[in-house]
Amino acid sequence: MKQSNDKALKMNAAVERILHGGEDSAAAGEPVLHVVLVEPEIPPNTGNISRTCALVGARLHLVEPLGFSIDERSVKRAGLDYWDHLDVEVHPNLDAFLEKYGDRKLFLATTHGGVRYTDVSFERGDFLLFGKETAGLPKDLIARHPDTAIRIPMGNDPALRSLNLSNSVAVVIYEALRQMDFPGLI
């Protein structure tokens, strides 16, 4: 019973940190990568991406509005008991995110990208942006960053839009980590 209570207390603290700012990101140190989900809509995708970020040491950025709640009750119900191991930052909107991090190296994952994700050089601290499941990233954002708009090669059947968001994130994260020789991973 004590172990269960300890786990619940850790999860509550993690949710509070996520919802109310907690530790400043700059003070927390530079993560290997930053994964940015712009207006994610489907909780299981974000859950899978969260797990991947926690396991590889990437910071997850969630850009609101979200299509789901990340309050304590919702996180617990979704079984996201590893959130106490996740480095996550929530931004009220894309403009607020860009105001804070827009001067950093941003790679925009999009089906409209002109460069394959394997043809760019990733470095520690890079930001990987992914759009919402139904619409992707805003076209004006992509237009402002054409040199870093990357794509995952796929077939051209219009009935098959793209890979699942959590699969796309995993593909790009692991290519970036491969290029860096999997820092800190065994």
> Could you tell me if residue 108 is inside a domain?
yes
> Could you tell me if residue 184 is inside a domain?
no
Domain of 117, CATH number, reads 3.40.1280.10
pTM for this predicted structure? 0.84
Residue 7 has a pLDDT of 47
Residue 19 has a pLDDT of 44
Per-residue pLDDT of the chain (186 residues), as tens digits, is 545 444 444 444 454 444 444 444 444 578 999 999 999 999 888 888 999 999 999 999 999 999 888 776 666 555 466 777 889 999 999 999 999 999 999 999 999 999 999 999 999 999 999 999 999 999 999 999 999 999 999 998 878 878 999 999 999 999 999 999 999 999
Residue 81 has a pLDDT of 63
Number of domains in the chain: 1
Residue 75 has a pLDDT of 61
> Could you tell me if residue 186 is inside a domain?
no
> Could you tell me if residue 185 is inside a domain?
no
Selection from 76, 79, 87 nearest residue 52 by Cα: 87
Domain limits for position 172: 2-179
- DSSP for 31-98 reads -SEEEEEES---HHHHHHHHHHHHHHTPEEEEESSPSS--SHHHHHHTT-TTGGG-EEEEESSHHHHH
